[in-house]
């Protein structure tokens, strides 16, 4: 699900080709987005919020010659979500043996 930071919202809105369809106020947009997220979660569906940063997103649009529309934003966040690995729970033993956590100056093996 696309997510915007308050400090980026005005810039992203101004550059959107479909800005007439987007809430012009960050707080209104955020309340609607949280309501939609709540509906997904209430149905037991997984949801990943992907923050859209103006520079990265606009470069991505330009590289693909796409307009800045809801469809393009959804395509972008789906791509970003698919390329992000989120691990919840313990790793299988064979993978855990190769994971190291750095804590300050010491390294600690997770296995």
- pLDDT, position 108: 42
- 107: pLDDT confidence band, cut at 50, 70 and 90? very low
Is the entire prediction scored with pTM above 0.85? no
- Who contacts 77 (Cβ-Cβ below 8 Å, separation ≥6)? 1, 2, 50, 52
The model's pLDDT over 37-87, given as tens digits with 9 standing for 90+, comes to 999 899 988 888 899 999 999 999 999 999 999 999 999 999 988 886 555
Q: For residue 21, with 0-12 CB atoms within 10 Å meaning exposed, 13-18 middle and 19 or more buried, which class applies?
A: exposed
Q: Tell me the average pLDDT across 18-24.
A: 89
């Amino acid at each position: 699900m696309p997510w915007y930071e308050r400090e980026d919202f005005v810039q992203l809105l101004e550059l959107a080709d479909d800005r007439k369809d987007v809430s012009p106020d960050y707080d209104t947009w955020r309340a609607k987005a949280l309501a939609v997220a709540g509906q997904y979660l209430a149905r037991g569906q997984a949801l990943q919020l992907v923050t859209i940063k103006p520079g990265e997103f606009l470069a991505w649009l330009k590289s693909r010659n796409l307009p800045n529309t809801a469809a393009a934003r959804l395509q972008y966040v789906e791509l970003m979500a698919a390329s992000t690995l989120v691990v919840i729970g313990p790793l299988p033993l064979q993978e855990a043996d190769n994971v190291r956590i750095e804590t300050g100056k010491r390294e600690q093996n997770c296995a």
